[in-house]
Amino acid sequence: MEEVIKIEGGHRLNGTVRISGSKNATVALIPAAVLAYGPVTICGVPNISDVRSLSVLLNELGVQVTKKQEDIIIIDPTGMENRPLVGESVSKLRASYYFMGALLGKYGRVEMKMPGGCYLGPRPIDLHLKGFEALGASVQYERGSYIIEAKELVGNKIFLDISSVGATINIMMAAVYAKGRTTIENAAKEPEIIDIATMLNKMGAHIRGMGTSVITIDGVDRLMGCFHEIIPDRIEAATYVVLAAAAADEMVIENIIPQHLDALLMKLDEIGIDLEVDVDKVKVHGMKGELKGTAIKTKPYPGFATDIQQPLTTLLTQANGQSIITETIYPERFKHCGELKKMGAHIDVMVPSCFINGPVRLSGTEVVATDLRCGAALVVAGLIADGITEIHDVYHIDRGYENLDGKLSELGAHIWRETIE
């Protein structure tokens, strides 16, 4: 038995959608909370399966997780024990690697098996491990698990060969309890890093420079509980902006920080989408006329986000001429192109680029969400395709989008779930 999402294309979207808290921040904030010696209240938590998987891991460590309201959780690590994380939840979820930095920082030791998540080509955690070693930890790999330990963590100057978000956050979490000062150079600048550093500072950490390429962390002895509200999800916001550009007459995307979407909004304006940007919302009025092809190169923030190139690929099948997307972050992130071709898209992939020729009419068929953002690309396609699109492996979509089909139904989409054999 398998749950699928079905979409009947051709129904225009209208109305307002409210964006949830950031998935990419949440999956790091929850592990960061265990660094405290008191309860941490996090507000704006999205109702997604990644959060449920992280809650299972917290329970395995003896951490109490209480859901106060739909989007508020209280994490109480008072009765926590540093146990090996080798269960199934780790392999389901790549972001479980944030427990490496958190547990190493708090206890000086962590044992954990290799994390899982969406396959986007090789995403080694060497940068994380090199950072831990620079702080004085030893790293061993035995029987599929990492054992990372240190008698004492000592601050150091760390240069990241690639400005990795995961490595920046993980090293930051380990360094809050290290003796002296840690400097991370070529640090990632993503808004989620600012959000995590902000919460750690509320807990009593001394972190400066977040959002720039140099972050300094002065170690402290003890972090306490705090209250923290998560920033809005810029990738969910961007996805709905693309959905609106493709299939809406008029749609408002609210509870967003528009500056986080600058690269996308400027590109949409350039290809011919009619947009109106406000303080905390974007209004999409559809297309100004015929869409023009364009060229996009994914880059770390504030460049064009890799997480949004897949949904945008679908929109560009409706643009005149050739569009080229070059993927510099995850060069193999083109599995969605094969699925879109099943629906009639004219796309050629030559890694690290794909070439999209349009406009073409898409036709509904059976497709597979090979990863989270591929799922989003197929939802965009289903809304504009002729007939019914049936999306399989929808658990990928549920990992990162809260109530996607419910939100789209309210906007006028004909979208539903069915259980099939």
The answer to which of 115-124, 222-231, 256-265 has the lowest mean pLDDT is 115-124
Active site includes 118? Answer: yes
pLDDT at 119 over 80: no
pLDDT at 9 over 90: yes
Q: What is the largest CA-CA distance in the chain?
A: 64
The span from the CA of 198 to the CA of 189, in Å, is 13
CB 202 within 8 A of CB 233: no
pLDDT at 400 over 70: yes
Per-residue pLDDT band at 116 (split at 50, 70, 90): low
Looking at residue 123, what is its pLDDT?
52
pLDDT at 124 over 60: yes
The span from the CA of 362 to the CA of 346, in Å, is 10
What pTM did the predictor assign? 0.93
DSSP letter, residue 7: E
Strand partners, 75: 40, 65
Q: Which of 118, 226, 337, 374 is catalytic?
A: 118
Q: Which tens digit of pLDDT belongs to each residue from 15-32? A: 999 999 999 999 999 999
Q: Which residues lie closer than 8 Å to 100 by C-beta, 6 or more apart? A: 110, 112, 125, 128, 132, 146, 148, 170, 174
Q: Which residues lie closer than 8 Å to 164 by C-beta, 6 or more apart? A: 127, 128, 188
Q: Which residues lie closer than 8 Å to 287 by C-beta, 6 or more apart? A: 245, 272, 273, 274
Strand partners, 141: 146
pLDDT at 129 over 80: yes
Average the pLDDT over 110-115 and give the result. Answer: 88
pLDDT at 121 over 70: no
pLDDT at 10 over 60: yes
Q: Which tens digit of pLDDT belongs to each residue from 317-363? A: 999 999 999 999 988 899 999 999 999 999 999 999 999 999 999 99
pLDDT at 393 over 60: yes
pLDDT at 117 over 80: no
The span from the CA of 52 to the CA of 261, in Å, is 27
Looking at residue 75, what is its pLDDT?
98
> Which amino acid appears at position 62 of this protein?
G
Q: Which residues lie closer than 8 Å to 205 by C-beta, 6 or more apart? A: 176, 197, 217, 220, 223
Domain 2-18+290-420 is found in CATH 3.90.105.10: no
**Is 410 strand, coil or helix?**
helix
CA dihedral 126, 128, 130, 136 (to 10 degrees): -150
Angle between helices 23-33 and 234-247 (to 10 degrees): 160
Looking at residue 303, what is its pLDDT?
96
Helices then strands, counting H and E runs in the chain, come out as 14, 23
The span from the CA of 283 to the CA of 290, in Å, is 19
Fold (CATH) for 23-229: UDP-n-acetylglucosamine1-carboxyvinyl-transferase; Chain (3.65.10)
Q: Which tens digit of pLDDT belongs to each residue from 72-92? A: 999 999 999 999 999 887 887
Average pLDDT, the chain: 95
Per-residue pLDDT band at 55 (split at 50, 70, 90): very high
Q: Which tens digit of pLDDT belongs to each residue from 142-194? A: 888 899 999 999 999 999 999 999 999 999 999 999 999 999 999 999 999 99
In our burial notation (b when 16+ CB lie closer than 10 A, e otherwise), range 48-63 reads bbbbebbbbbbebbeb
The span from the CA of 286 to the CA of 274, in Å, is 6
Q: Which tens digit of pLDDT belongs to each residue from 288-304? A: 999 999 999 999 999 99
Percent above pLDDT 90 for the chain: 91
- Tell me where in the chain the CATH 3.65.10.10 domain(s) lie: 2-18+290-420, 23-229
The span from the CA of 232 to the CA of 192, in Å, is 10
For the beta sheet containing 281-287, the strands, ordered from the edge strand earlier in sequence to the opposite edge, are 13-18, 248-254, 281-287, 273-277
Q: Which tens digit of pLDDT belongs to each residue from 186-240? A: 999 999 999 999 999 999 999 999 999 999 999 999 999 999 999 999 999 999 9
Tokens of residue 418, six digits: 């069915």
Tokens of residue 330, six digits: 């995850």
